[in-house]
Chain A
Amino acid sequence: KNEVEQSPQNLTAQEGEFITINCSYSVGISALHWLQQHPGGGIVSLFMLSSGKKKHGRLIATINIQEKHSSLHITASHPRDSAVYICAVRSRSGAESRGGSQGNLIFGKGTKLSVKP
């Protein structure tokens, strides 16, 4: 079982729809990241959160530490939101801490979102 699981793998929506992408993880974490990867491949960091909720424009990210679950919501979706959305967690455990003392980033496989006009 992967340490970070995302669902769904693929998502097609009509413009204007409310979208939710889910991320569940099985390790203790110090932070969770939501990333956006466009077709060209470059990755942009959308959110980094360790508790509660963050909002930026039409994007909202929430995290429930007890349930080890995070969601990324997109309100009023638009075709330009089409991308792969990646959840990544920074583990707290020393045994898993490759990548520096703050721990390695463990990535989900991504959710491919297509928003149709």
Chain B
Amino acid sequence: KAGVTQTPRYLIKTRGQQVTLSCSPISGHRSVSWYQQTPGQGLQFLFEYFSETQRNKGNFPGRFSGRQFSNSRSEMNVSTLELGDSALYLCASSSQTETGELFFGEGSRLTVL
């Protein structure tokens, strides 16, 4: 079974630009969550999508948005990039088990110059 796939793995943008990151979940998983990982803050929850609907949202500004498609693939978008947005963005999928174990991809590393 293929794992969670994230693209692109690395990207460099400049302040003010926007970026779109993509995530393909494990086959059969309908929930996709996004996390931002930085050295000082650890893993911070961005949002979760289930069956194309945003089910949970973290405390991030509106510049951060996402969506999920009917095949469960998900994208997140960050507009008007700031230097502080430089981070590893992790996508995780899960099935609807009692524990809801998260299966993470390897992440997309964004550098904002």
| A and B assemble together | no
